[in-house]
Amino acid sequence: MLDTKRFLVFNDSYTAYADFKQCTLAGGGNQVKKVLITDDDIHLRKLVLTYAELDGFQCEEAECGEDAIRKIESTPFDIVVLDVMMPGPNGFETLAEIRKTSEVPVIMLTARGEEYDRLLGFKLGADDYVQKPFSPKELMARVAAVLKRTGAKQDANYRFGELCISPDARTVTLGDSALTITPKEFDLLLTLAQNEHIVLSRERLLEKVWGYEYLGDARTVDTHVKSLRERLGHYRKLIQTVWGVGYKFEYNE
């Protein structure tokens, strides 16, 4: 069953973070974003609800999949947080029903973490997944990243100072100069930029950029990152190494 998830505060220090996020959520627009939180665990729903509201979201909850489907049919949500393990229609079954009528972005929550769950979720149309137990701050960062990635924008390009990444044209420019990069380097750079401020493990990058059937070594990610940094020149610092985990894209004006 579908339950709407709302974000809850674990410590007072999050308040300052939330104030900042309210100003920058989804590119800084003034329109309030609506999130549907779906989980049969009321405590988890309230946890997510509190964090989401601090981030400036308008939230609704659903305690089962059927409830979520009804609400999505009557209300234009910007994003849905959907638990996998629910009694009755589970998260996968609910997602399949949602995709019959709606393309609303969906982030799946899973307690099991098996590759099969992730593959099935993506096959059914999930936009991202978060494994339990999770950090509410990370979940909110993923919500913001998915909204940034899927939101309709006048300018579909990603701009970081003089660096411009154009998904439609599949080009990267630095100032007035076009950079020459390989298709995989472009996919890797775009994936990192679309998930700004989020740490992506090498395994996660392999899934997103090379595909689930890729059987190569995770070190291929390191090789491509090294090559990308060389091409980016003084913007090489945008791609930060998180030792023992992977990489993240971080732009500071």
pTM: 0.60
Whole-number Cα distances in Å, 127 to 10, 96, 108, 119? 26, 13, 8, 11
Listed in order, the ranges of the chain carrying CATH 3.40.50.2300 are 14-150
H/E stretch holding 177: strand 177-178
170 backbone φψ class: left, alpha, beta (φ>0; ψ -120 to 50): left
pLDDT (tens digit per residue) in 70-99: 999 888 899 999 999 998 899 999 999 999
The architecture in CATH of the region 14-150 reads 3-Layer(aba) Sandwich (3.40)
Whole-number Å distance between alpha carbons of 91 and 118 = 12
Q: Report the pLDDT value the prediction gives residue 31, as an integer from 0 to 100.
A: 67
CB of 96 within 8 A of CB of 71? no
What is the pLDDT confidence band of residue 249, given thresholds at 50, 70 and 90? very high
pLDDT digits over 6-30, tens only? 333 333 334 334 443 443 443 444 4
All residues at 6 or more sequence positions from 222 whose CB lies less than 8 Å from its CB, including other chains: 202
Amino acid at 156: A
Q: Does domain 158-249 have CATH number 3.40.640.10?
A: no
β-strand 34-38 against 79-83: which pairing, if any?
A: parallel
What residues does CATH 1.10.10.10 cover in the chain?
158-249
